[in-house]
Chain A
């Protein structure tokens, strides 16, 4: 079970969190202006990398805040956590 450092509460067990999928997929500003394909890409398509992945978590059984994490999907190592709205940090 992961130990996830909530930006508001500190390190807590994974069981306290809900997973929210890929981060930085904003709801389009004007969906009506999108083609069917563009809209379908927003709805149904997500990255699935082996390696670093920016993803959303919600501290559902804690402060109930959404935040983002950069996790290595191959090792489960979390390289960074940051608050919603902040840019994805560069991991070197």
Chain B
């Protein structure tokens, strides 16, 4: 048996090769990484996060607090518990010092999601879960049974108990096979239910290929997130064993008794040669006997109970031990695990008086009792109550259509768990109206009743420095005592003070122990102290699984205009505006962004340019009350707009702050087309619907989004009129025939079009709207003239900023009124009311020191201010540096507090001005025109001069060409 020194005799299987911490090792099919390491005699698997102490395998399931590893191949995955990693050929892993490393490359695997419904969801395929699912499924209910392990059976896997005359493991597999064959039952293996939410919304993660390594079929989703809405939920989630705080209880070789039993029975692995057992209850005796029968020498059983009780005596635990030469020491505790780096012995002492002795052992098994897994029950708002017999909290009341069953509900024996599960299944059926189904409870051989446990949390000592409470967080009794000594009396506070219970295992083995130690320190009953709140997820989940396919190009829908391919072919760079891809600028060979934008700006100011404006939101507002409706939403008058004309408008919230802006085009007496900013189109439509439905249901108006039905080309510049005239020979384009802020139906390049005379640059400009199907044709026709420069959003931003036109969301932030923007003229004085009107009479909106939109000219015309830079009126403070400038320039901020007067909202280089400029919101800004302010940028204070926000063509002479 060389090479398999710790494998139970006679155990065989397919050999799997793997590498751990650089060592090439072998395991057997069916192993976890933890069982394979134990089979190879690997005792130290990881080191602790804060103290760097060696740590070994402590448990056999997801509650493992110690053996945290990183998978290196085939794809890096950090912070996995060795006890839940299924071994596969070629696995490469390393032990972690409590922290993992994220992958340095993209995850090539696919992750999926499934949304489904069922009548009954059973969580956990142990005895109670299988019994519950069996009753419900056989009555015809739609059942999902989810279990986190690769094999059904739960607690039966690690024991030697029989059900219906068969070994428990075989019974479980046969039952699952029978249930799987039913048409409306789905059994999900390797599926951990991580969250239980309101109205029985349950989230589970199924691991589909993780256990296959390189053999995973390509294209098969690695993990699948199940989002399940269940009419009834049965939580048969079992229990976790907990340990006791004593000196050195973290040494490799210290292990939960039930875990050792599982390694021997399920995996055929001997976790040591010679063991000492330390227990507070009966369950560790079964472990001791199973280990002894497997060939492990049991040096002693130390039972904290002086007189374990009649059930203990009736089952003759002591005699059964004696038959195997095991010494039973009642009324004893293990005071310390001995050894350097790993367990070499245990110090055992009677609870009263002297007589400490050290017993040689390489394995120290601990059972401090079992805690029902009430995580999911509690997550969904269920209350917990203290069970004196278990010394633990069990599910109480819940408003969900859910119940716990089996050990999760505090039921202890196998027979009772099977019966309780079956009853839970029957109750679920009754609640769902399946009548009165029959229930058959599987038969169990005679089994021991449990004598009362003694709830011991810690072994008293003068030094609590290595009495660990939370192994993963390196929290000891000494630290819990420091917390209570500091006056903390709530376990929630102690948790945050010590970090106990906050590691990857979320305190599965340590949570109740922490409460117990706090109770001990405070001299109170743990029943009244409670536990910390349980929150999802039950076990760690990868972000990749939660993201599923919603990543990369599928992360968010991408919207493109009809002429998108032209922009791509022309080498445009794109800007994301909401979900839209908008051409940002069109660099020519050798041009950087700055050069391209200056060229595009000059082309529009001096010749003619075209921009794809299709993404602007467009809403069709139809009905006899459309004018009244828009009058109430816009600050200005829309009902008086003549058919054929266009009006700019601003919408505000009831608090008076700008929400959106755009134009309204009157198409007919009962019909307007309203445009919105690109990013706000959906919000504006929602806003309209909300007011129509909730405040003005009497108005006869319908609103419809037509954004994607239209493609729009903005043609701007002094030569735009001649380009349009050539494209639309039937259209009278003269200023008198087609004045500013009107629209005309026309044929443009042979396409039916609606042409609007609107300008967002201050230049003579048109917006040509056609059906989206003809968008590309129109764009190509405009470009075919050979004289039109395509320009992008950056140029559009520069041109509008030169004119002082604000962009909602860039120059405003929800705290800005139209008056702040210098747009007093857009706020009607005639209308009796509109949304926001009353707020302009509030004291706050008429404060003289409100932030106004102003222009800024950096004194150095080459300096570009960063957007977002703060502005201060810095008096000279500290030394003044010698400067070539005529005025002294401060080099440092005044001593704090320094009042921020405002901030830069837009900042550009202007071709027309031949310099940089910016827009800013500045306190009392309109009264500061001509004043010098400073923008702290890095270590520098950049001097700027406040100007009007309209920096180019303030008299509007260019509008008509």
Interface of A toward B, CB cutoff 8 Å: 1-3, 13, 18, 20, 26-28, 30-32, 34, 36, 39-40, 42-44, 56, 58, 60, 64-66, 75-77, 84-85
Q: List 21 A-B contacts (CB under 8 A).
A: A2-B198, A2-B199, A27-B654, A27-B835, A30-B833, A31-B837, A31-B838, A32-B833, A32-B837, A32-B841, A34-B838, A36-B841, A36-B842, A44-B655, A58-B686, A60-B686, A75-B381, A76-B198, A76-B199, A84-B697, A85-B697
**Which residue on chain A has the smallest CB distance to residue B836?**
A31
Determine if B399 and A3 form an interchain contact, defined as CB atoms under 8 angstroms apart: no
* Minimum C-beta distance from A13 to chain B (A): 8
CB contact under 8 A between A39 and B842, given known A64-B689, A66-B690, A84-B693: yes
Residue among B199, B201, B229, B695 with most chain A CB within 10 A:
B199
The answer to whether the Cβ of B116 comes within 8 Å of any Cβ in the partner chain is no
Contact across chains for A27 and B199 when beta carbons are under 8 A apart: no
Among residues of B, the one whose C-beta sits closest to the C-beta of A25 is: B694
Given contacts A32-B833, A84-B694, contact A43 B199 (CB under 8 A): no
CA distance A75 to B381 in the complex (A): 8
Using known A-B contacts A3-B229, A32-B833, A75-B381, determine if residue A66 contacts B694 with beta carbons closer than 8 Å: yes
Given contacts A2-B199, A75-B399, contact A31 B833 (CB under 8 A): yes
Q: Are A77 and B695 in contact (CB under 8 A)?
A: no
Least Cβ–Cβ distance between B198 and chain A, in angstroms: 5
Bound complex: CA A42 to CA B689 (Å): 20
Per-residue CB proximity of B827-844 to A under 8 Å, as 1/0?
A: 000001101011101110
B 748-773 binary contact with A (CB < 8 Å = 1; else 0): 00000000000000000000000000
B693 and A66 contact, CB distance less than 8 A: yes
Closest residue on chain A to residue B832 by CB atoms: A32
Contacts A31-B833, A32-B833, A85-B697; A58 near B690 (Cβ below 8 A): yes
Cβ contacts B220-233/A at 8 Å (1 or 0 each): 00000000010000
**Shortest beta-carbon distance from A84 to chain B in Å:** 5
Which residues of the partner chain B approach A34 to less than 8 Å between Cβ atoms?
A: 838
State which residues 810-856 of B face A: CB under 8 Å.
832-833, 835, 837-839, 841-843
User: Which of A18, A27, A32, A65 sits near B693, CB closer than 8 Å?
Assistant: A65
In the assembled complex, B197 has its CB within 8 A of some CB on chain A: yes
Most buried by B among A1, A39, A40, A60: A1
Q: A27-B695, A32-B833, A84-B697 are in contact. Are A43 and B381 (CB under 8 A)?
A: no
| Residue of B399, B693, B841 ringed by the most chain A CB atoms within 10 A | B693
B interface, CB within 8 angstroms of A:
197-199, 201, 229, 381, 399, 654-655, 686, 689-690, 693-695, 697, 832-833, 835, 837-839, 841-843
| Cα distance A84–B696 in the bound complex, in angstroms | 11
- A66 to chain B: which residues have CB within 8 Å? 689-690, 693-694
* A-B pairs, 4 with minimum CB distance: A31-B838, A3-B199, A1-B201, A66-B693
Q: Which residues of A contact B832 (CB under 8 A)?
A: 32
CB distance from B385 to the nearest CB of A (A): 18
B690 closest partner in A (C-beta): A66
Q: Do A43 and B694 form a contact, CB below 8 Å, given A1-B197, A34-B838, A76-B198?
A: no
A residues near B399, Cβ cutoff 8 Å: 75, 77
CB distance from B631 to the nearest CB of A (A): 15
Chain A positions within 8 Å of B197 at CB level: 1
Residues of A within 8 A of B381 (CB): 75-76
Instruction: Report A-chain residues with C-beta under 8 Å of the C-beta of B690.
Output: 20, 58, 66
- Contact of B843 (CB < 8 Å), options: A1, A36, A60: A36
What is the CA–CA distance of A40 and B844 in the complex, to the nearest angstrom? 11
Q: In whole angstroms, how far apart are the Cα atoms of A18 and B654 in the complex?
A: 20
In the complex, chain B residues whose CB is within 8 Å of the CB of A84: 693-694, 697
6 further contact pairs, Cβ within 8 A, besides A1-B201, A3-B199, A84-B693: A18-B686, A30-B833, A31-B833, A56-B694, A65-B693, A77-B399
Whole-angstrom distance between the alpha carbons of A51 and B253 in the complex?
Answer: 52
Partner of A42, one of B198, B199, B654, B837: B654
Measured between alpha carbons, how far is A39 from B832 in the docked complex, in Å?
A: 16
| B675–chain A nearest beta-carbon distance, Å | 21
Shortest beta-carbon distance, B810 to chain A, in Å?
Answer: 25
B898 CB to closest chain A CB (Å) equals 30
A38 to chain B, nearest CB (A): 10
Contact across chains for B686 and A39 when beta carbons are under 8 A apart: no
CA distance A28 to B836 in the complex (A): 12
B199 and A1 contact, CB distance less than 8 A: yes
Task: Across the interface, name the chain B residue whose C-beta is closest to A28.
Answer: B838
Chain B residues lying within 8 Å of A26, measured Cβ to Cβ, are 695
Q: List, in ascending order, chain B residues with CB within 8 A of A39's CB.
A: 838-839, 842
